[in-house]
Structures are given as structure tokens and as C-alpha cells.
Amino acid sequence: MTMQAVMWGVLLCTIGVAALAGQLKRGSSAVKLGDPQLLDSVSVRLPRGWSITDEGTDAISAVDGDEIERRFVLVRERDPRDGSLLQWLSGANSPAAKRSGKNVTIPMGPSAGVVTTTRKLIEGIGRRSPYRDLEITATSTLPNEHVLTITVSCFDLNGNNEGVAMDVLKLVAGSVEFIPPKTLAPGK
């Protein structure tokens, strides 16, 4: 009797997680972009309806969902000449990596961005957990030598949301517009 109750519990939990994953997948494919947001030298459009937060002088973020279904987009523009000694030593403000034929790239305004994907397993009951934190990042060097980074983070189950997260990244990256500095004409 107890074994049967446990099996029913496992079945219900599995159905619930599958429904959650399906809802996340459907929700991401319907993402539409909102109004342009201005950083230092770029304009970028973040998903409409998401909670947008100014992260200081060089970044802006958008969050959607609750604790379990959270999706997060962070756009950061940095001047590699600015920053602390620690940032300089760690390479945090260094330009985007040189592109070899093996790197995946996507358009990011005036240049291509190099894409990296990080998958961190979430500890589960067994040794093999299907749950993970997913982070996909695109990094590009702008014409003014600033480094532009766009990161999409979300909860992932068995890789079901990776394609959707990449679609959101491509959508936001495709909205990037470089705004060249205005030069003053002589005598003005």
C-alpha cells in the first residue's frame, strides 16, 4: 500500500514538472520586444511585459516569472579602459575573444557576438538530476571598443528550454543598434 502511494506521488510530480516545462517552452516562443532602452552607446530592446531594472550606468536587466519559472536577461556594455585594477587583472573588461571557425556567432548590432553556454546541474536525490541552471551569453566588441554582453539565464529540465533561451538571446541581440558619438563641427 505504501509503495503504491509513493508511486502515485512520483507520477504526479513527474506530470507536474512536465507541465511546467511545457509552459516555459510555450511562454518563451511568444516573447515580443518592448521599447528601446539606451545604454552608453547602444540601444537594445528587452522583452515586453518583463520587469526591467536599471543595473547602474552600464547595464540593464529584464526578469520574467517566479522563483521556479524565472527567466532573466542581462545586457551590459563596458569600456575596457574603465574599471578597477581587479577587473583589469581578471580580464573582466577585455574585448570579445577572437573568433575561430568552431565558435557559434550571432548578429549583435554592427558586429557578431561569440556565444557561450553554461549548464550547471542542480543537485537532486539521485546521481543524475535532469534539472539545471542554464546560462547563454553572447559577447561582442563594438566599433568604439566597448564590450557588449547579453546573458539569458533560466531553469532548464532535460535541455527542453535551451532552444527557447537561445531564441530569446537572438531576439534581444538582433535588436541592438550602435549609436555613434556625435562630433562637433569646428567653430561650434
Looking at the DSSP bridge assignments, the partners of residue 154 are 71, 134
In 30-78, where does DSSP find H-type helix? none
Does a structural domain hold residue 137?
yes
CA distance 118 to 137: 8
Does a structural domain hold residue 184?
no
Model pLDDT, residue 99: 43
What domain range is 171 assigned to? Answer: 2-178
Does a structural domain hold residue 186?
no
Q: What is the DSSP letter of 144?
A: T
Across 127-141, 144-158, 165-179, the highest mean pLDDT is recorded for 165-179
Model pLDDT, residue 22: 58
Quick check: helix, strand or coil at residue 72? Answer: strand
Of the pLDDT bands very low, low, confident and very high (cuts 50, 70, 90), residue 28 is very low
Report how many domains make up the chain: 1
Model pLDDT, residue 122: 73
CA distance 28 to 47: 10
The whole-chain average pLDDT of the chain stands at 78
Does a structural domain hold residue 112?
yes
CA distance 99 to 91: 17
What pTM does this model have? 0.71
Strand segments, DSSP code E, in 88-167 are: 104-108, 111-121, 131-141, 147-157
Domain harbouring 60, CATH code:
2.60.120.1690
Neighbours of 153 (CB within 10 A): 19
Distances 119 to 1, 127, 130, 132 between C-alpha atoms, Å: 39, 16, 11, 6
CA distance 10 to 13: 5
Of the candidates 135, 96, 99, which has an alpha carbon nearest to the alpha carbon of residue 117? 135
Of the pLDDT bands very low, low, confident and very high (cuts 50, 70, 90), residue 151 is very high
Does a structural domain hold residue 183?
no
